[in-house]
Chains A and B, each alone.
Chain A
Amino acid sequence: MILTQESIKQIQEKASQYPQRKSAILPALTIAYRQIGYLNSDVYKEISRVIKVPYVEIAEAASFYTLFPKQPVGKYLIQVCHNISCALLGADSLIEYLEQKLGIKRGETTPDNLFTLVTVECLGSCATAPMMQINQDYYENLTREKVDQILDELRAKV
C-alpha cells in the first residue's frame, strides 16, 4: 500500500460528504498528492479501491488536473508564476535568477533532489507580484534579497 491509513481515513471521510462517490475523486487525489508528492497509476488503483470508483475514471480525471505532478519532484517544488501581472514586474528575471542560484533550468530538479523549478500560470497573487509558490506556501512581493533568504532558510531546514 502506498496510501497511509491516515490518508485512507481522510479520503473515506471526505467521500461520505458527497451525494455521489465520484465527487470524491478530486479530494482523494489531493490527499494522496499531499502525502506522496506526486501521483501515478498505482495511486489511482488504490484510490479506486478506497472510494469504489472505477480506476479509469480516476485516471481520466487526474490527467486533466495540472496541480498534481505525475512524477517525483524535489523536496521543494518551486512554482513561479509567469502570467501577465507577474511578468510585468519581472517574473522572467526572477526565473533566470532562480535558475542561476539553483544551477538548473526550469522543469529540472537539483541533483540533491531538494528543489524542482517550474513555471505556472496565474496563482491569484497579482497585486503582490512577482511571486512563487513553494509546496503549499505563497511567497509574494519577491526581491532578490527575499529569494536568497527563502532558499537559505529552506536549505537550513534539511
Chain B
Amino acid sequence: MFYSPVITNAAEAVSNDRLHLFRYVEDPDQHKIQTYEAHGGYAAWKKVLNGMNPEAVREEVKKSGLRGRGGAGFPTGLKWGFIPKGSPKPRYLICNADESEPGTCKDRVIMERDPHAVIEGMAIAAYAIGCRLMFIYIRGEFNHCIERIKAAKEEAYAKGYLGKNIFGSGYDLDMVIHTGGGAYICGEETALLNSLEGKRGMSRIRPPFPAVEGLYACPTIVNNVETLSAVPHIINRGAEWYRSLGTEKSTGTKIFSLSGHVKRPGNYEVELGFSLRKLIYDPAYGSGIVGDKKLKGVIPGGSSTPMLTPDMIDVKLDYESLTEVGSMLGSGAVIVFHEETCIVWVVLRLIHFYRHESCGECTPCREGTGWMEQIIYRIEHGQGQPGDIEAIEDICGNILGRTVCPLGDAVVMLIQSAIKHWRDEWQYHIDHKKCLVKSDFEFK
C-alpha cells in the first residue's frame, strides 16, 4: 500500500505559526501516537475532559467562526447547537471522510499522515454533542487511509483516549470505522446516513434535519475531516486566536487542492482570503501554468462550483468573495485549465461523471443529466444542432431547485457557468462541427 506522494506546503506551516493543519504532515512518524503526542496531540482532548462542559466546547467552536470544509460552509458550532435539548435518544457524530468531489484530495492527506488529528477532533465534537458512539465514513477506495485510521484508533483505545470512563471523567466514547462502496453521492450527508444504515445511498428530504433525525432516526451531526481536524487547535489556542486567522467572516485556514494545468499541483494550507492568482502563479504554490500557456479557466471549489475566467482570478479565496463573483468556495479544490482546452470537452467529462453518480432518486436529475450528456456528447463530436445550447439551458432550468439533494443544482451551476463564460465557443462547435481548440493531452 502506498503513501500519497502529493506535494504539500508543510515546510511553510512549520515556520508560519498561523498555519496548523499541515504543520506535521511531512513528518514520517506523525501517524504514530507518540509522535502526535510529542507534537502536542491530545492536549485539547485532555483539556476538554478536565474541565470544559459540552456547552463550553460548543461555545468556543461557535465563537471561532469555524465553518464546514466539506463544501457547504455551514457554521460548525451552530450546527452542533441544533441537537434538540433533552432528547432521550442516543446522539451520533459522523466524520464524513467520503472525499470524492472531483479535484479534492485534501482529507486523504490528513487521514494518511495525521490520523490522530481526525480522531481527536471527532472525540471533542462527540463530547460537545453528548455522543457515545461515533463513526467515520471513509470512501472504500482509500485503503491507505482506512489502515492508518484503524491503527490510530487502536492506539487511541490502548492509551485510554477512547473507550470507557476516559481518564476517569465518567465519559464513555466508542468509535466505528465504516467504509463506503464507491458512490459519490454518499458524501452528501443524508445519503451518507442511508448508506451507513445499510441502504442504497439516496438522499433524504429535509426537514427533518440530521441534527434532529439522522442516523437510526436519532440526533446526528455530520462533519468533514478537515473541519474536525481544526477543532483541537481551536480548543488549545482559543476562539480568539482562530478568529485572527483568515477574514472576518471566513475565519481560519483552509487546505486547497490545486490540480490540472499548473506546474506544481498539490495541497496547500493557506489562510482564508488568500489570493487565487497567488495560489496558481506563486512559486511557493502552483508556480504558473504548464508550458507557460495562457490560463483559460478555473473551477475554484471542486467540480460542483461555477467556473471562473482569467479576469476573475484576483478574487480572494473565502466563502463571501467567491459567492460575490458567482461561484463558491466548495471543498477548496481548484482545478485549472489552459488555453488549449476545449470547454465542451471539460463539461462532457463532468456531465458524464454526474450522470454516472446521480443516484436515480429524483427524475429531473436522473433523466436530465442523461439527456444533457447525450446533447453535449454530440456537440463535442461534431454533431451539434442549432438549438442545442437552448435545449441544455432548458433542461438546466428544469433541474435547478427541483431535486432532494444538491447534486442536481451542482450540475446546473457548472454547466450554466461554462455556457455563460464561453458561449461563443459552444456556438462555434455547433456551427463548425468541431472544436475551436482541441483538448489533446498526452501523459508523459
Contacts and interface: CB of A to CB of B under 8 A. Distances in A.
Interface of A: 17-20, 22-27, 29-30, 53, 57, 60-61, 63-68, 82-85, 87-94, 97, 120-130, 133, 136-144
21 contacts: A18-B176, A22-B197, A29-B181, A30-B181, A66-B182, A82-B349, A84-B299, A84-B303, A90-B444, A122-B102, A122-B104, A122-B184, A124-B99, A124-B108, A124-B141, A126-B105, A127-B6, A127-B257, A128-B6, A128-B265, A136-B1
Interface string B57-78: 0000000000000000000000
B81 interface: no
A140 B259 CA distance: 13
Nearest to B356: A121
Nearest to B195: A26
B86 to A, nearest CB: 21
B265 A67 contact: no
B200 A84 contact: no
A86 B367 CA distance: 27
Kindly list the 8 A-B residue pairs having the minimum CB-CB distance in the complex, ordered from nearest: A65-B181, A90-B443, A67-B182, A22-B198, A25-B198, A85-B259, A126-B259, A64-B200
Given A53-B198, A127-B257, A84 B350 contact: yes
B136 to A, nearest CB: 12
Nearest to A66: B182
B178 A27 contact: yes
A121 to B, nearest CB: 5
Nearest to B267: A127
Contacts of B337: 88
Contacts of B179: 26-27, 30
Given A64-B201, A122-B102, A136-B1, A93 B303 contact: no
B183 A85 contact: no
Given A23-B178, A61-B198, A124 B100 contact: yes
A145 to B, nearest CB: 8
B277 interface: no
Nearest to B346: A84
Contact of A64 (B7, B183, B303, B350): B183
Interface string B134-174: 00000111111000000000000000000000000000000
A129 B259 contact: yes
- Interface size class, chain B: 35 or more
A83 B353 contact: yes
A27 B180 CA distance: 8
Given A88-B341, A127-B266, 18 more contacts: A19-B216, A23-B196, A26-B196, A27-B178, A27-B179, A29-B181, A64-B201, A67-B180, A84-B335, A87-B441, A88-B259, A88-B335, A121-B353, A126-B102, A126-B103, A126-B104, A128-B5, A128-B6
A115 B266 CA distance: 31
B133 interface: yes
Nearest to B176: A17
A53 to B, nearest CB: 7
Contacts of B100: 121-122, 124
Contacts of B178: 23, 26-27
A135 to B, nearest CB: 9
A83 B102 contact: yes
B144 to A, nearest CB: 7
Nearest to A57: B198
B363 interface: no
Given A20-B216, A66-B181, A93 B441 contact: yes
B260 interface: yes
B180 A142 contact: no
A143 B198 contact: no
Contacts of A61: 198-200
Contact of A65 (B107, B108, B183, B299): B183
B67 to A, nearest CB: 22
B349 A83 contact: yes
Nearest to A28: B198
Given A85-B103, A124-B108, A137 B1 contact: yes
A125 B140 CA distance: 14
Interface in B255-273: 257-261, 265-267
A126 B333 contact: yes
Contacts of B200: 60-61, 63-64
Nearest to A30: B179
A133 B273 CA distance: 35
A41 B267 CA distance: 42
